[in-house]
């Protein structure tokens, strides 16, 4: 679903080149839940932005569901993002002049044909906002705004969900609600989920944890399954 080949990102500051990401290669299969972790300034949010096509690598290749997004023009990138990715920002990024329902509808209207009204209403009900659909962001709490942002990310049914610190601005109760909604989408719909987090509890639910340090992948951890487990099970049933 996502393939990164020797990708790097740097910026030029006068005569000095500042390297943000260096020689990143990874492959994420469909349906996997990946948590990207690391200290502040390690490059993890930059990596997520590259994977989402919100930024472009200075070198290397990024393939998204078979599409090489590293050399696309912005209009082409926007079209791929609209079809392939639902993105959840830490700061919600809702449009203040639109109601909750209108915010959720927007990606559908931009990227799909037909009416998405029924889907938008159903999703807002699923995230517990049946009574808040006609409210504007300023009338909603932080937890409610993030749930609107989740419904917006889900509405066009993208195969990939990406989230940058989706629980970072929330208390533990609202953070758990948001995590459960993301996990449910990942498990029920088989949606590929890639998120950046500082929260060990959030990372602990992932199928895979990628640790970034100084712009490089220093650890890529998959769940450990004991090879002896099936043998033990057989012995118990023998």
Q: Which domains does the chain have, with CATH numbers?
A: 29-57+69-222 (3.40.50.300)
pLDDT at 228: 42
Question: Of all helices (H) and strands (E), which one includes residue 9?
Answer: strand 2-13
Residues 199-223: b if buried by 16+ CB within 10 A, e if exposed: beebbebbbbbbbbeebbbeeeeee
pLDDT at 110: 86
Are 11 and 18 in contact by the 8 Å Cβ rule? The answer is yes
Split the chain (238 residues) into runs of 10 and give each run's mean pLDDT.
95 89 96 95 94 93 93 90 92 96 94 87 95 97 95 94 93 92 91 94 93 96 52 40
Q: What is the DSSP string of 159-202?
A: SEEEEESTTTTS-HHHHHHHHHHHHHHHHHH--EEEEE-S-HHH
For the entire predicted model, the pTM comes to 0.87
Distance of CA 118 to the CA centre of its chain: 24
pLDDT at 116: 87
């Amino acid at each position: 679903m996502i393939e990164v080949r020797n990708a790097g990102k740097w910026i030029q500051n006068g005569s000095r080149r500042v390297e943000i990401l260096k020689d990143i290669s990874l492959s994420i299969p469909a349906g996997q839940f990946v948590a990207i972790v690391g200290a502040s300034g390690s490059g993890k949010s930059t990596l997520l932005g590259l994977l989402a096509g919100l930024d472009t690598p200075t070198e290397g290749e990024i393939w998204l569901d078979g599409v090489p997004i590293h050399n696309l023009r912005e209009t082409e990138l926007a079209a791929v993002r609209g079809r392939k990715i639902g993105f959840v920002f830490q700061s919600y990024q809702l449009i203040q002049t639109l109601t909750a329902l209108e915010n959720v509808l927007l990606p559908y209207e931009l990227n799909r044909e037909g009416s998405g009204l029924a889907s938008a209403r159903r999703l807002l009900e699923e995230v517990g906002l049946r009574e808040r659909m006609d409210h504007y962001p300023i009338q909603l709490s932080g937890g409610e705004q993030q749930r609107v942002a989740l419904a917006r990310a889900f509405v066009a049914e993208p195969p990939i969900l990406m989230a940058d610190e989706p629980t970072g601005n929330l208390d533990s109760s609202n953070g758990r609600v948001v995590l459960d909604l993301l996990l449910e989408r990942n498990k029920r719909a088989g949606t590929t989920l890639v998120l950046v987090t500082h929260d060990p509890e959030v990372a602990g639910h992932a199928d895979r944890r990628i640790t970034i340090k100084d712009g490089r992948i220093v650890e890529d951890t998959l769940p450990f399954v004991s090879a002896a487990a099936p043998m033990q099970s057989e012995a118990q049933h023998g």
